[in-house]
Amino acid sequence: MAISPETSWYADEVPLLPATNVIIGPNKKYAFALKDSRSVQMQRYLNIAQDMLNNAMQGAFDGEGASAHLAPYFSLRAIEFYWEFDAESPIDFVASLRERVMQHGQVVSEDFYDISTGSLRTTNQSPCLTVQLTSKIKVKIYAKTTRRVRFEVTIKDDAINVVAGQRSQASVEGIVSLIPSLAQEAADRLAPLIQSITAAPPPPGRATALQLMHLITQNAQDRYVAEAIIAALVSFGRVAAYGNDPMKSAIRGLKERGILRSVKPRSSICVITDEYHDALISLRRYR
């Protein structure tokens, strides 16, 4: 089921993707829905879906010797929560987040959507950034309309069990009971990303690009490891060591010397410290 706004609602805002699952325009039905909690809305939705399926099955077996009955088994495979924010230029805003978003995930990807403006279709580029926070939790950021940016958090499979308990339930009410804790988890996962996006720029640093390169090379000892760390910082704004990564010792040494820092506690993703931030910006100009 998808929401398709009337084209007359596009006077002040235009969807940048096919207009599914986006609320545009003064439709009182949406205002009515917004007054209820997520759990209430989801319970209504699931009850409607269950009734439709039940009625269809009963009709299919009408007059037959066999009959259909509802088996009390429901499984929540994945759930998505999203937040939308106003932006003067959503496409530019999303494109500008690339480095800061990369600092929050081991795996980050960029997609490009075709843009649709009502009946007029163009092939402009709307960047969509996807951050894999864990193997089962991801954040997607993209320009939804000409005035809004959407942040989506998807939680699926085993992550639902970890966060909210058993994702298989014997009733609609059981599935709905999982929603509050999953919504809180989504908000908690998104909060550090929002904080990094809205953070004030660091104070000017005194280190130069040459000093930064020298410190990394000196600490790494192996010139190829040093080059890999420098290239990762220049290209992505971060280095992300894996389990038995041979570069781990070099990264640890750079952290101990105050050149790198973990993006958050216990994270293997490291970014440049404020003192060397300007040096990294300068280094990018000459690479």
Position 136, amino acid:
K
The correct answer on CATH 1.10.10 for the domain covering 209-286 is: yes
The answer to whether residue 133 scores a pLDDT higher than 50 is yes
Listed in order, strand segments (DSSP E) in the chain are: 74-75, 78-86, 107-113, 116-117, 120-121, 126-132, 137-143, 148-156, 168-169, 239-240, 260-262, 269-272
pLDDT on residue 275: 92
Query: What rounded mean pLDDT belongs to the chain?
Result: 82
Q: Which of 20-29, 39-48, 93-102, 264-273 has the lowest mean pLDDT?
A: 20-29
Residues in the chain: 287
Q: Looking at residues 86-114, what average pLDDT do you find?
A: 73
Provide the pLDDT confidence category of residue 250 given band limits of 50, 70 and 90: very high
Position 262, amino acid:
S
Torsion angle in degrees (nearest 10) through CA of 240, 238, 198, 79:
-30
pLDDT on residue 237: 86
d(CA 139, CA 104): 10
Pairing of strands 116-117, 239-240: unpaired
Q: Looking at residues 229-241, what average pLDDT do you find?
A: 88
CATH code 1.10.10 region(s) in the chain: 209-286
Give the list of residues 6+ apart from residue 185 with CB closer than 8 angstroms, or none: 137, 155, 163, 164
Q: Looking at residues 275-282, what average pLDDT do you find?
A: 92
Q: Looking at residues 258-270, what average pLDDT do you find?
A: 87
pLDDT on residue 34: 67
d(CA 241, CA 39): 39
Q: Which of 115-124, 190-199, 265-274 has the lowest mean pLDDT?
A: 115-124
Q: What global pTM score does this model have? A: 0.73
| Residues 50, 52, 57, 59, CA torsion sign | positive
List the beta bridge partners of residue 86. 148
d(CA 193, CA 144): 18
Write the CA distances from 222 to 225, 228, 237, 239, 268, integer angstroms. Answer: 5, 10, 21, 16, 21
